[in-house]
Structure 1
Amino acid sequence: MPMTSYRNVLIVDDEPPIRELLEITLSRMQLKAYSTGSLQEARAQLMQHHFDLCLTDMRLPDGNGLELVQYIQQQHPHMPVAMITAYGSVETAITALKAGAFDFLTKPVDIKRLRELINNALRLKHKVPPSLPNEQTEHTQLLGQAPAMQALRQQILKLARSQAPVYISGESGTGKELAARLIHEQGPRAQAAFVPVNCGAIPSELMEREFFGHRKGSFTGATEDKPGLFQAAQGGTLFLDEVADLPLAMQVKLLRAIQEKAIRPLGSQEEQAVDVRILCATHKDLAAEVQAGRFRQDLYYRLNVIELSIPPLRERREDIPLLAEHILRRLAQSSGQPQANLQPQAMQQLLLYPFPGNVRELENILERAYTLCDHQCIRPEDLQPTEPNTPSYSKEQPISTQVHNLEEHLEAVERNLIMQALEETRWNRTAAAQRLGLSFRSMRYRLKKLGLD
């Protein structure tokens, strides 16, 4: 990345050799360094000068680097801060990332890694942010005006400014990959590749070479070198979807690659450094997978530095009309046909349906209805759920057209669904909550609200 002069970097470290190494590196990158050896001096420098980046040691004579990270987050929220930690201090690095640090380095400082970090930080510092959180490209639309969605977009903007690993949780069909793409596109790695991979779709015997690549002759049929997913995502983002499906043997190798920031292609004797941001997602409860022994706890803590939760569609029903309009408009554009409209009764059915398949199911329902409807008018009978084991709208969930109080009607539908789940699970609340796609806490709240507790 071409650098311009007079970009200022604050170095905070009480070891003169480390400061000298950082100053030399910054000078060769045409950056101006200001060095201090204490927390107090750093705060004084921040009051006197404008900085584009701060590099701070964890241990300082009058405090620690976390205090400086928190101070900069409050006083200079758009300035990236990178933490320098002792080798092997994984817990310290994770704590720094959670506090708001952009990234971290370990001692002894690797110069190549240092230069990559600085380049990424300065790209972030001078990246023009979108004027509104919901200004997104056509391919990465995370639509919705519900409070939960507005908060989600704001959180994505904040996460895009960090290099911390993010665990995206949510049910199937909620838009976890869209959230991951937004984090990538709004961050400093936007010009590099976003590489999504479904961990559950790769045969276990092929996983190592798919992730790390292989060298020519490493196995029968390996007629040439082939890069893996980490190499494909070099400088960018690797999105591990359905990460809970990784076999335990692969989890060990993935953990090492993340910790060492290096991989070893199959058949190679040498490790290869990689600069990749890791985002992951799963519709499973990853903490429960750890408890059950199916997912390594150490890998869980490395991936789940920050959790981003995507709300299910049934918890933001007010967004259904907006989503339906967008989906129907997109279907019309792709087919070259006029846009279809939903009859009021059909919209009412959508508003009352629980959507176990979330936004993806809404898309499937509307695509089928768009294909089957007459005269671009979607009627209630054109709507059929696509998820298995869900009752039909027209036969088993008739909706009265004489609804006078929508809240009361929705509450009645919710009560019936919960009662049905409880009866089917012999009043096992945990099992009923899982069947409905709810957390146990949410289930307990709803039982109390509906007088079923």
Structure 2
Amino acid sequence: MNQALGLIVDDEADIRELLEITLSRMGVRSEAAASVAEARDQLARHSFKLCITDMRLPDGSGLDVIAHIQKHCPQTPVAVITAYGNAEAAVESLKAGAFDFVSKPVDLGTVRKLFDAALKLGSPPSPPATASGVELLGNSPRVQQLRALIARVARSQAPLHITGESGTGKELVARMIHQRSPRAGGPFVPVNCGAIPTELMESEFFGHVKGSFTGATRDKAGLFQSAEGGTLFLDEVADLPLHMQVKLLRAVQERAVRPVGAELEIPVNVRIISATHKNLSELVRDGAFRQDLYYRLNVIEVQTAPLRELGDDIPVLARYILQRLSAEAGFETAPAIDSAAMQRLRLYDFPGNVRELENILERAVTLCDGQTITVEDLALRDDPILTPPHAASGKASLPEHMQDMERQAIREALEKARYNKTRAAQLLGMSFRALRYKIKKLDIE
């Protein structure tokens, strides 16, 4: 079996020797180059599984090496060595195509993790994890472009930011990137930044040591430590208060966190993927989001498409969701959607995107006859039958009035049936399933 070959580009002999020894202990042979010209010559003569280059070289920079690799051997992952604290150079190298970077003085533990990730990038890709539902459905141009972008950015270790409206599948995209990356064997840790109380944020993100504050009865690992070797997904990152933005910036830049009450920082090996439905650049302009953090998180940007732009994919999505909902409810077969109802879905603007489609179909499954979903079963919010012209006037709309009447009738039936839902459904002339849905929808206790 041929031994993997790595390329080390650095004009300092002692660093070349250190990296050569590290690679050899990992079973990887290496070739060395002290300049951009020598690196190009080596790349022309050999096929490398990985490359690591210093940013400052006698006849150019690491960016020149990255550009050459991107053009002539794009399958070779390249990492960059940057000067300590030079965050701008690190970001610039990641945007140029480097999959990762390491700062001087070079830490061998960090380098070994970097080399290990690079070698995994050269391995045959594992099949998509469709069994867990982590897959994009549809064949519209927007979906195909997004799939191709996911495949490309999965090779990088750079921080990545996903933008898009609520309900467009930003977490799904983040999971796909994770599962197609060298970090697939590590954890994927999602966190909704807007759901953590402000006073607990630092402890939740970075952990704490026993006795650091009232109630800290034991040491606790934070989200960064929980995601070690994997991906930390920061959903709704725009909701972070400014004081936490400062601490997050340091953690991203230094790749280390300090638990609350601890004296020393702990190195962490985590890829950050962030997301928000808000416009971060506008928040930066308004002073609500730090510009330096924005540039560190938004090294690579991925945008999800709203459902209204994926009309041809709506039938595929609808049938998939119906199959899942029916399986969860224990039905033998999923109801069909008649042609008029499907056309109505294709013309609907879906302000809530895929999440709204799921809610509409869940309601329709409950209201339909069990065999076929009709336009009436969809009960879309902009249907002229359900939303009369005077609804926008500020007066109670017909749907709201009907809901009040339904709520009152259900409460009376429940009282009459002594809160036996099966008996109450019979009194109301509806199925038990439909009553259960109505109770949930109308928030009846």
SS in 2 for 1:395: coil
Q: Secondary structure at the match of 2:376?
A: helix
TM-score by length of 2: 0.84
Shift of 1:14: 1.2
Shift of 1:397: 8.5
- How far off its partner does 1:40 sit? 1.7
Distance 2:32 2:135 in 1: 43
Q: Does the residue aligned with 2:189 lie in a helix, a strand or coil?
A: strand
Deviation of 1:26 after TM superposition, in Å, equals 1.6
- Secondary structure of the 1:374 match is coil
In 1: Cα distance, 2:68 partner to 2:144 partner: 26
1:213 & 1:33 partners in 2: Cα distance? 39
Aligned to 1:407: none
Q: Does the residue aligned with 2:132 lie in a helix, a strand or coil?
A: coil
Say whether 1:367 aligns with 2:362: yes
Task: Note the residue ranges of structure 2 that are not aligned, 5 or more in a row.
Answer: 393-445
Report 1:138-153 matches (<5 A): 138-153=132-147
Task: From the superposition, tell whether residues 319 and 259 of structure 1 become closer, same or farther in structure 2 (CA, over 3 Å).
Answer: same
| Structure number, greater radius of gyration | 2
- Residue 391 in structure 1 maps to residue 382 in structure 2: yes
Taking the aligned partners of 1:136 and 1:154, their CA distance within structure 2 comes to: 16
Equivalent position of 1:439 in the other structure: none
Contact 1:5/1:31, CA 8 A, preserved across alignment: no
Contact 1:5 1:30 in 2 (8 A): no
In 2, Cα distance between equivalents of 1:270 and 1:361: 46
Q: Give the root-mean-square deviation of aligned CA atoms.
A: 1.7
Q: Which segment drifts farther, 157-166 or 103-112?
A: 103-112
Aligned letter for 1:394? I
Runs of 4+ in 1 over 6 A off after TM superposition: none
State the distance in 2 between where 1:69 and 1:275 align: 23
> How far apart in 2 are the matches of 1:393 and 1:9?
66
- Matches of residues 272-283 of structure 1 in structure 2 within 5 Å? 272-283=266-277
1:262 to 249, 256, 268: 256
Structure 2 match to 1:356: 351
Check the 8 A contact 2:129/2:179 in 1, yes or no.
Answer: no
Structure 2 contact 51–78 (Cα < 8 Å) conserved: yes
CA contact (8 A) 2:379 2:386 kept: no
Q: Does 1:16 align with 2:10?
A: no
Cα displacement string for residues 61-120 of structure 1 (whole angstroms, at most 9, x for unaligned residues) = 222211221221222221110011111221111111111111011111111111111111
| Residue 325 in structure 1 maps to residue 324 in structure 2 | no
Give the TM-score normalised by structure 1.
Answer: 0.83
Q: For residues 383 and 296 of structure 2, what CA distance do their matches in structure 1 show?
A: 43
Deviation at 1:218, TM superposition (A): 1.2
Distance 1:393 1:10 in 2: 66
Aligned match of 1:206: 200
Matched-pair identity in %? 60
Q: Does 1:251 align with 2:245?
A: yes
Aligned to 2:397: none
Provide, for residues 367-412 of structure 1, a one-character-per-residue CA deviation record: whole Å limited to 9, x for no partner: 1101110032101001124xxxx534533489xxxxxxxxxxxxxx
Q: 1:40 & 1:272 partners in 2: Cα distance?
A: 38
Tell me, yes or no, if structure 1 residue 299 matches structure 2 residue 293. yes
Given residue 372 of structure 2, which amino acid in structure 1 is its aligned partner? C
- Structure 2 equivalent of residue 25 of structure 1: 22
Q: Provide the C-alpha distance between the structure 2 equivalents of 1:358 and 1:375, rounded to a whole number of angstroms.
A: 25
Partner secondary structure for residue 71 of structure 2: helix
Render the CA deviation track for 1:270-320: whole Å, top value 9, x for unaligned. 111100000000000011111111111100000000110001011111110
Cα deviation code 1:35-59 (max 9, x no counterpart): 0111221122112222110001112
Distance 2:323 2:79 in 1: 44
> Is the CA contact (8 Å cut-off) linking 1:381 and 1:394 kept in structure 2?
no
Pairing of 1:75-114 with structure 2 (within 5 A): 75-114=72-111
Partner of 2:169: 175
AA aligned to 2:345 is L
Q: Is the 8 A contact 1:38 1:60 kept in 2?
A: yes
Structure 1 contact 384–393 (Cα < 8 Å) conserved: no
**1:343 alignment partner, one of 329, 338, 346:** 338
Q: Supply the distance in 2 between the matched residues of 1:42 and 1:173 (Cα, whole angstroms).
A: 46
How far, CA to CA, are the matches of 1:188 and 1:233 in structure 2? Answer: 14
Q: Which sections of structure 1, spanning at least 5 residues, go unmatched?
A: 399-419, 421-453
Q: 2:208 and 2:272 mapped to 1: Cα distance? A: 21
2:184 counterpart letter in structure 1:
A
